Amino acid sequence: MVRTLDSVSRVGVVGAGTMGSGIAQVAATAGYDVVMRDVEQAYIDDGFDTIDDSLDRLVARDALNESDAERARERIVGTTDLADLAGCDLIVEAVVENMDIKQDVFAELDTLVDADVVLGTNTSTLSITRIAAATGTPGRVVGLHFMNPVPVMDGVEVVVGEQTGTGAVDLAHNFAAELDKETWEADDKPGFVTNRILMPWLNEGIRAFDEGVATKEDIDRGMRLGTNVPMGPLELADHVGLDVVLHASETLAEELGDRYRPAYLLRRKVDAGHLGKKSGQGFYEYD
Ligand X SMILES: NC(=O)c1ccc[n+]([C@@H]2O[C@H](COP(=O)([O-])OP(=O)(O)OC[C@H]3O[C@@H](n4cnc5c(N)ncnc54)[C@H](O)[C@@H]3O)[C@@H](O)[C@H]2O)c1
Q: What residues line the site for ligand X (CB under 6 A)?
A: 14-20, 37-39, 43, 94-97, 101, 105, 122-124, 148, 240, 244
Task: Print the SS3 string covering 16-67.
Answer: CCHHHHHHHHHHHHCCCEEEEECCCHHHHHHHHHHHHHHHHHHHHCCCCCHH
**Annotated catalytic residue within 54, 127, 145, 173:** 145
User: What is the closest distance, in whole angstroms, from the C-beta atom of residue 195 to ligand X in the complex?
Assistant: 8
What is the strand order of the sheet 10-14 is part of? 76-79, 33-37, 10-14, 90-93, 118-121, 141-146, 155-160, 182-187
Say if residue 38 carries a ligand binding annotation: yes
Say if residue 205 carries a ligand binding annotation: no
**Known active-site residue 195:** yes
User: What is the closest distance, in whole angstroms, from the C-beta atom of residue 218 to ligand X in the complex?
Assistant: 26
**Annotated catalytic residue within 54, 127, 195, 249:** 195
Q: Which is nearer to ligand X, 95 or 234 (CB)?
A: 95
Q: Which is nearer to ligand X, 15 or 282 (CB)?
A: 15
User: What is the closest distance, in whole angstroms, from the C-beta atom of residue 178 to ligand X in the complex?
Assistant: 19
**Annotated catalytic residue within 157, 173, 239, 247:** 157
The answer to whether the CB of 131 falls within 8 A of the CB of 103 is yes
Cα separation of 157 and 143, whole Å? 7
User: What is the closest distance, in whole angstroms, from the C-beta atom of residue 65 to ligand X in the complex?
Assistant: 27
Q: Where does residue 3 fall: left (phi above 0), alpha (psi -120 to 50 degrees), or beta otherwise?
A: beta
Q: Are strands 33-37 and 118-121 parallel, antiparallel or unpaired?
A: unpaired
Q: Which is nearer to ligand X, 60 or 82 (CB)?
A: 82
**Known active-site residue 157:** yes
Q: Which is nearer to ligand X, 32 or 43 (CB)?
A: 43
Please report, in range form, the residues annotated as the binding site: 15-20, 38, 97, 102, 124, 148, 278
Please report, in range form, the residues annotated as the binding site for NAD(+): 15-20, 38, 97, 102, 124, 148, 278
Catalytic residue numbers?
A: 124, 145, 157, 195
